[in-house]
């Protein structure tokens, strides 16, 4: 017969093992859902729908509705009848109805054979050709489409397969890589121009995310304005990377709490990141009180930003934040959060002195999502060509998107 002492020891052993399992599962969950996880990727909590509101409200009253914006027609086709299809009687035209369609041509690719005449100039004593064409057999528009498909994180094999299906029978994955390499070279000057403009901006958003190179840990740094996106793949997360991208930068840098940004004189710490951090501890009732205070303070700061800087109001906001830190320090579980806030100092309020500077770093996090999607697709980049694609082509394409430009048209404008 098992003694109760032995039974207690067995139960204690089972409980210890279960606690270890819970701790490991919690650690794994943190890797996927943490303050760095965007809201679109977090698990949604069960929420009750307001039964007083309609499930499908439809178009609001007074709305003019939406619709597709149609380009002007390239050609017009008229559909006529001379006789009734049922009784063969003569028809009288009564009215006309317009219907517009957007479609691909029956043959997506056009093969053109160029006959280039050569001439001799007796005065210059040199040979002249009537046209200067690229050595590639694939035209500019086809190459531009390949670059756009690759930027959508499609693999070289998938892109090549699609191009073959559309009518280029010998198109290969290697050809996709050759076109990508060509545009890395073509877009380098454009990227340099945008980087120079970014370094003179009044403020930038900055962030970084992990991206392995040939199986080794690495990172992609991103620095952004409203209209410029610059990516840089590096093997380090050290501060030298950001200092190389924006050396001697004198504007405001908006970032999270990472120490690599500490050397910049003007810095705005991200409030959205702080609130996500605080929410991690909000299961504790005492910490939840301070979390609610932080949310109210953030809403108050957004109102202050709409007004000219008022030192008295800003000092009052700083006092409230310091009081939150004091309260959190009295709670054992809240001391880590208190340290995080205290380390930010006055950097939580820099944006109040600059009209356009945001209180959060959401812009950088949104722009880096494209890098995250690429990482999920390819796992890692292999060499300097992969780095060149991220640094140059992605930077230029995403800058065009921020500027509201048509990427396909811009790629077609790039010449050798």
Give the pLDDT score at 1: 61
The confidence score (pLDDT) of residue 23 equals 85
- In this structure, are residues 309 and 268 in contact, taking their beta carbons and an 8 Å threshold? no
Does pLDDT of 142 surpass 90?
yes
Residue 242 pLDDT exceeds 70: yes
Whether the pLDDT of residue 410 is over 90: the answer is yes
Among 67-81, 145-159, 267-281, name the one with the lowest average pLDDT.
Answer: 67-81
Assess whether pLDDT exceeds 60 at residue 379: yes
Residue 253 in contact with residue 198, Cβ under 8 Å? no
The fraction of the chain above a pLDDT of 90, given in percent, is: 69
Q: Are 245 and 232 in contact (CB under 8 A)?
A: yes
Q: What is the pLDDT of residues 322-370, one digit of tens each?
A: 999 999 999 999 999 999 999 999 999 999 999 999 999 999 999 999 9
Q: In the prediction, which pLDDT does 28 show?
A: 75
**What mean pLDDT do residues 363-387 have?**
92
Are the beta carbons of 154 and 359 closer than 8 angstroms? no
Query: Which stretch of 66-75, 362-371, 385-394 has the lowest confidence by average pLDDT?
Result: 66-75
Q: Considering the chain, what is the average pLDDT of its residues?
A: 90
Q: What angle do CA 238, 36, 227 make, to 5 degrees?
A: 75
For residue 270, what are the CA distances in angstroms to 5, 82, 207, 381?
54, 70, 11, 30
Confidence of residue 391 (pLDDT cuts 50, 70, 90): very high
State residue 275's pLDDT score: 95
The most confident of the ranges 11-15, 63-67, 139-143 is 139-143
Contact of 38 with 369, CB cutoff 8 Å:
yes
- From CA 388, how far away is CA 184, in angstroms rounded? 6
Q: Are strands 212-213 and 380-381 parallel, antiparallel or unpaired?
A: parallel
Residue 49 has pLDDT above 70, yes or no: no
Distance of CA 319 to the CA centre of its chain: 36
Contact between 184 and 147 under an 8 Å Cβ cutoff? The reply is no
Query: Worst-scoring range by mean pLDDT, 96-110, 220-234, 250-264, 309-323?
Result: 96-110
Tens-place pLDDT, residues 195-213:
999 999 999 999 999 999 9
Q: What per-residue confidence (pLDDT) applies to 46?
A: 57
Is residue 52 scored above 60 in pLDDT? yes
């Amino acid at each position: 017969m098992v003694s109760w002492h032995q039974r207690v020891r067995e139960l204690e052993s089972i409980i210890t093992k279960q606690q270890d399992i819970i701790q490991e599962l919690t650690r794994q969950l943190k890797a996927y859902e943490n303050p760095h996880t965007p809201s679109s990727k977090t698990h949604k909590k069960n929420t009750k729908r307001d039964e007083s509101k309609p499930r499908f409200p439809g178009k609001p009253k007074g709305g003019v509705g939406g619709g597709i914006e149609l380009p002007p027609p390239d050609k017009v086709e008229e559909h006529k009848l001379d006789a009734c299809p049922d009784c063969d009687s003569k028809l009288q035209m009564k009215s006309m109805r317009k219907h517009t369609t957007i479609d691909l041509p029956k043959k997506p690719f056009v093969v053109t054979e160029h006959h280039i005449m050569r001439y001799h100039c007796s005065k210059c004593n040199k040979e002249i050709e009537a046209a200067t064409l690229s050595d590639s057999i694939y035209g500019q528009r086809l190459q531009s489409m390949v670059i756009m498909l690759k930027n959508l994180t499609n693999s070289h094999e998938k892109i090549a397969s699609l191009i073959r299906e559309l009518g280029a029978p010998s198109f290969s994955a290697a050809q996709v890589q050759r076109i990508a390499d060509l545009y890395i070279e073509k877009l380098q000057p454009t990227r340099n121009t945008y980087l120079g403009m970014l370094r003179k901006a009044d403020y930038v958003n900055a962030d970084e995310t992990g991206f392995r190179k040939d199986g080794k840990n690495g990172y992609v740094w991103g620095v952004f304005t409203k209209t410029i996106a610059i990516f840089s793949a590096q093997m380090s997360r050290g501060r030298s990377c950001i200092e190389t991208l924006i050396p001697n930068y004198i504007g405001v840098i908006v970032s999270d709490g990472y120490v690599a940004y500490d050397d910049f004189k003007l810095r705005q710490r991200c409030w959205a990141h702080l609130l996500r951090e605080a929410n991690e501890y909000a299961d504790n009732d005492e910490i939840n009180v301070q979390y609610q205070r932080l949310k109210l303070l953030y809403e108050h700061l957004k109102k202050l930003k709409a007004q000219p800087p008022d030192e008295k109001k800003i000092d009052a906001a700083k006092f409230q934040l310091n009081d939150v830190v004091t309260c959190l320090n009295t709670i054992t579980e809240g001391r880590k959060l208190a340290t995080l806030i205290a380390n930010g100092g006055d950097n939580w309020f820099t944006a109040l002195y600059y009209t356009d500077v945001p209180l959060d770093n959401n812009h950088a996090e949104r722009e880096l999502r494209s890098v995250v999607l690429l990482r999920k697709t390819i796992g890692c980049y292999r060499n300097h060509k992969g780095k060149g694609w991220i640094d140059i082509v992605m930077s230029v394409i995403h800058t065009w998107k921020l500027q509201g430009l048509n990427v396909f048209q811009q790629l077609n404008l790039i010449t050798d």
